[in-house]
Structure 1
Amino acid sequence: MMKDYMKGVFAGLVVSCCCAVAQEQDKPNILFIFADDHTYEAIRGHGYLDIDTPNLDKLVERGASFTHAYNMGAWNGAVCIASRTMLTTGRTVWNAGMLEQSMKQEVEQGRMWAQQMKAAGYKTYFTGKWHVQAKPEDYFDVVKDRRGGMLHSTPKDGAAYNRPKDEADYEAGWKPWDKTQKGHWGEDGKHSSEVVADNGIEFIRHAAKEAKPFFMHLAFNAPHDPRQAPKEYIDRYPLERIKLPESFLPEYPFKDDIGCGKGLRDEALAPFPRTEYAVKVHRQEYFAIVSHMDHQIGRILDALEESGEADNTYIIFTADHGLACGHHGLIGKQNMYEDSVRAPFIMVGPGIEAGTKVGTPIYLQDVVPTTLELAGKEIPDYVEFKSLNPLFKGEIKHYDAIYSSYQNQQRMVMQDGWKLIYYPSISKTRLFNLKNDPFEKNDLAGNPEYTAKLTELEKSLANLREQYNDPLDFEDPKKSWNAYREACGANKKKSH
């Protein structure tokens, strides 16, 4: 909950930003930093993991951390596509899916997030990962070094997968610092995170000289696999420093029924069944690439300070979703557990009191209407997410409940500290009390003591499915899912 100081300060800020007579030069800059596969846990300042993130920690100290920021789900294995499509269009998951193959019309109508910022008088800039059908060159003022959604290191049956089986396999196998493996290292041996930072710094120095405020969208490919980083970062995390997740399992019992078995690319990265050794190595490499990205973010923040624009800039850091990386016997993000559906969300800027924690659940795509308001732009009717600004003014309830989904195989509702997960293809329900069981280890669905709570959440899920145009018929998941895929034309094979 926000401190009282924030209520008056930010209320005045929103009024001034929304005033029709505001001048362009008085508008705040927006620096949006977007990571890929970054779970909410993986920031030391949040207090969960022994991980080195000094620059993200500074943002936590300087601003507001929204501790429960969620992604609404995905219509294919590449969860980032759905998250980013929702982000660029402002639509909720199933409505965004219907737009995936018709982005050209959205661009022609000026509906993309960056176009709305441009209409508000902003110089718009993009660099990094792009995983949306419409090309950013069609509507950002400046685009540099756009990268694809998946940085391939080896083919799926290659050295970066099904590893490490044991210590000997690791010693003889793929190494994250080996630049010949390409992936994040690219053709020139320069890490993708360094490219994003260099480009961002260059634009900040240029934009500081212009009269227009800037809107920067810096999209890191990190810490998405292949989880590559310089060896010095790997060496920071000897395996004895790495702790197994509280919810570690050798295998998730329903993995094959929910699309998280050996056929899913993300899950094929580590051997089945999961071993403590393999999970520790994957977490070592994950922590290393996060720390390397954190260093690049520090360089960007230093450049912003040097430009003289820091005091008039809102910095927002989040990610498209989280990542299991060993929780529950899973490696990827295609599941409904907190480590995968929940991302960090930090906001720093004028009027935001340092060290604020906001526990009210949000969707990470709420950043779209929030920034439009800060830009003095009326939120269009087609934007289906909510501005966070009322939370800064003391609002406690934002959404009645949080919904998420994965293809036709998983559904979730989180409400008042309780979570229901449902697997339609096998009619399996799981129930967790997140307050008492934050690592979701104790399934209460079969306990008659919680029958009323289960019924309550089932009704809530039904209401949210209707509200968000969920196409899935639980009585016939396959048929209804095929009909949705046919309707939206989203039948191309996706990488993730």
Structure 2
Amino acid sequence: MVSCAFRSTTVLLLVVFVAQARAEQPNVLFILTDDQSFDAVHALGWQTVETPNLDRLIERGTTFTHAYNMGSWSGAVCVASRTMLFTGQTVWHAQRDVPKLNAKYVDTRNSWPQRMSDAGYRTGMTGKWHVAVQADSVFHEVRHVRPGMPRDKAKMYNRPHPGEPDPFDPADKSAGGYWQGGKHWSEVVADDAIAMLDSPEGDDRPFFLYTAFNAPHDPRQSPTEFLARYPREQMDVPNSFLPEYPFAEAMGAGRGLRDERLAPFPRTEYAIRAHRAEYAAIITHLDVQIGRLLDALEAKGLDENTRIVFTSDHGLAIGRHGLLGKQNMYDHSVRMPLVIAGPGIAAGEQIDQRVYMQDVVPTTLHWAGASTAGIEFQSLMPLVAGETDSARPSIYGGYLNRQRMITSGDWKLIVYPQANAVRLYNLADDPEERHDLSGESEYRSQVEELLEKLRKLQQTLDDPLELPAELLSATQPQ
């Protein structure tokens, strides 16, 4: 028979153990934006855009300069990106799980928020969700769930044209979009997140707060004072600007794709300056809202035990390579900013090893002491600790059955199976990917080597696409 004294001691020790474990768990603030390219932050490259709050977060934390999205089975790339976050599965395995989510058959024990909950976290969510399961079924508290993008109107497309009035005013609240409901959605998300920082009375659990802004996704609307900071005529035009991309139709990013119809064909510098001005304005407005959230965290004294993750689900072209959207394999579209900050994370550091954005899932689970069983991504913490042998030798990308990509060392190979074509870039010499080397005889072996590595990655990831055997003959120098 077990004595009462023994049972009391056991219970007391258990309570102490749980309390100690909980005290060691940091709060986790996850900040996710939509369509924000890896360099669309002042401190990360785009000197035109003003982002003082993201800049200070970068100063406080560690930045992964080469974070990638693995790809998509949908033109709505964010669906795939966020489903990978939710499930912790790589792209084609996440797609495999979508029918289960749509059928409301969800093993919530394996989802990211549920794993955090099981580890003792109070979970909250606000903003863009875009996963095929109800957010309130996996988070304790949910506010203002938003659709994939704000509602658009015809006048937001095929604009602007030189010498003609622009039909779209991003500051016009009557146009709806981000203004639907009367208050800009970025401001609403920040309001919600600030409110959810406070625990209910008697609840001492650490929090996991999933804060998902729709910005800077189109329609890129922001208040007049933010638009005024970026006069169109003074905006930069990308060095890789093209009137049209030669493989746009074959790669599934042609004139029929919604994202690409935002600006006229062929592209003009006039239109691209306007779209980039609106992109910069909504990012600066977004930055102010993130600053409000960071300030509230500090004012409440929570910053000392909160780790912050800031990232986006993918990037965006906005005129680079003749493209507007994210349905391509160029770095401006497959890379995004990724910053982690907080106690125990080095300040002002940069890590150049290539990672996937979804690596934040096992990273946060590691912080929480939660299970990572079955998660197919890798924690970032070994790289933070300087263990460079944990870096991936190659990065994979895929879009529908129209595009494949591998980045390995200094090299990137993009494959367009429908066009039986490839493009080869040396990223060290040509970071803007402007000079295709695939047709030069001296790089033939490099194409062959990368194709072989890509096929091996396809097998590892259960990629359903078989690349045509004619690809190599198509790259034969003329």
Question: Which TM-score applies when normalising by structure 2?
Answer: 0.92
Q: Distance in 1 between matches of 2:469 and 2:259?
A: 27
Cα distance change on mapping 1:437 and 1:406 into 2, 3 Å: same
Letter in 2 for 1:139: V
Is 1:185 matched with 2:156?
no
Letter in 1 for 2:376: E
Partner of 2:301: 308
Partner of 2:47: 49
Q: Distance in 1 between matches of 2:56 and 2:348?
A: 9
Partner of 2:270: 277
Letter in 2 for 1:285: E
Shift of 1:207: 5.9
Q: Distance in 2 between matches of 1:232 and 1:476?
A: 55
Cα distance change on mapping 1:470 and 1:174 into 2, 3 Å: same
Partner of 1:12: none
Partner of 1:123: 122
After superposition, give the CA deviation of every residue in 1:341-400 in whole Å (9 maximum; x if it has no partner). Answer: 0000000011112110000000000000000000012311x2100001110111214211
In 1, are the aligned partners of 2:100 and 2:106 still within 8 Å (CA)?
Answer: no
In 1, are the aligned partners of 2:93 and 2:462 still within 8 Å (CA)?
Answer: yes
Partner of 2:137: 138
Partner of 1:394: 386
Partner of 1:82: 80
Q: Distance in 2 between matches of 1:363 and 1:106?
A: 27
Partner of 1:406: 399
Q: Distance in 1 between matches of 2:198 and 2:19?
A: 28
In 2, are the aligned partners of 1:318 and 1:364 still within 8 Å (CA)?
Answer: yes
Cα distance change on mapping 1:298 and 1:21 into 2, 3 Å: closer
- What does 1:341-352 correspond to in 2, within 5 Å? 341-352=334-345
Cα distance change on mapping 1:20 and 1:261 into 2, 3 Å: same
Partner of 2:361: 368
Greater relative CO (CA pairs within 8 A, separation 6+) = 1
Partner of 2:169: 175
Q: Distance in 2 between matches of 1:205 and 1:21?
A: 19
Partner of 2:460: 467
Shift of 1:189: 1.8
Letter in 2 for 1:50: T
* Superposition RMSD in Å: 1.6
- What does 1:191-340 correspond to in 2, within 5 Å? 191-206=184-199, 210-340=203-333
Q: Distance in 1 between matches of 2:210 and 2:332?
A: 24
Partner of 2:100: 102
Partner of 1:39: 37
Structure number with larger C-alpha Rg: 2
Is 1:67 matched with 2:65?
yes
Give 3-state SS (helix, strand or coil) of 1:431's partner: strand
Partner of 1:166: 162
In 1, are the aligned partners of 2:115 and 2:371 still within 8 Å (CA)?
Answer: no
Shift of 1:20: 8.7
Aligned length: 452
Cα distance change on mapping 1:320 and 1:207 into 2, 3 Å: farther
The unaligned stretches of length 5 or more in structure 2 are: 1-16, 471-478
Partner of 1:436: 429
Letter in 1 for 2:35: D
Q: Distance in 1 between matches of 2:59 and 2:234?
A: 25
Is 1:28 matched with 2:26?
yes
Give 3-state SS (helix, strand or coil) of 1:159's partner: helix
- What does 1:3-18 correspond to in 2, within 5 Å? none
Q: Distance in 2 between matches of 1:396 and 1:198?
A: 39
Q: Distance in 2 between matches of 1:470 and 1:29?
A: 36
Cα distance change on mapping 1:152 and 1:255 into 2, 3 Å: same
Is 1:384 matched with 2:376?
yes
Q: Distance in 2 between matches of 1:207 and 1:437?
A: 53
Partner of 1:457: 450
After superposition, give the CA deviation of every residue in 1:21-40 in whole Å (9 maximum; x if it has no partner). Answer: 84213310000000000001
Q: Distance in 2 between matches of 1:135 and 1:82?
A: 16
Partner of 2:14: none
Cα distance change on mapping 1:454 and 1:87 into 2, 3 Å: same
Q: Distance in 2 between matches of 1:309 and 1:106?
A: 37
Shift of 1:448: 1.0
In 2, are the aligned partners of 1:163 and 1:169 still within 8 Å (CA)?
Answer: no
After superposition, give the CA deviation of every residue in 1:269-296 in whole Å (9 maximum; x if it has no partner). Answer: 0000000000000000000000000000
Question: Which TM-score applies when normalising by structure 1?
Answer: 0.89
Q: Distance in 1 between matches of 2:206 and 2:108?
A: 23
In 2, are the aligned partners of 1:107 and 1:138 still within 8 Å (CA)?
Answer: no
**Further displaced range: 206-215 or 331-340:** 206-215
Shift of 1:54: 0.4
**Further displaced range: 325-334 or 448-457:** 448-457
Q: Distance in 1 between matches of 2:78 and 2:145?
A: 16
Q: Distance in 1 between matches of 2:261 and 2:201?
A: 45
Shift of 1:48: 3.4
Letter in 2 for 1:116: R
Q: Which runs of 4+ in 1 moved over 4 A?
A: 19-22
Shift of 1:106: 6.2
After superposition, give the CA deviation of every residue in 1:220-246 in whole Å (9 maximum; x if it has no partner). Answer: 000000000001111100124311011
Shift of 1:261: 1.1
Q: Distance in 1 between matches of 2:201 and 2:242?
A: 50
Q: Distance in 1 between matches of 2:62 and 2:117?
A: 26
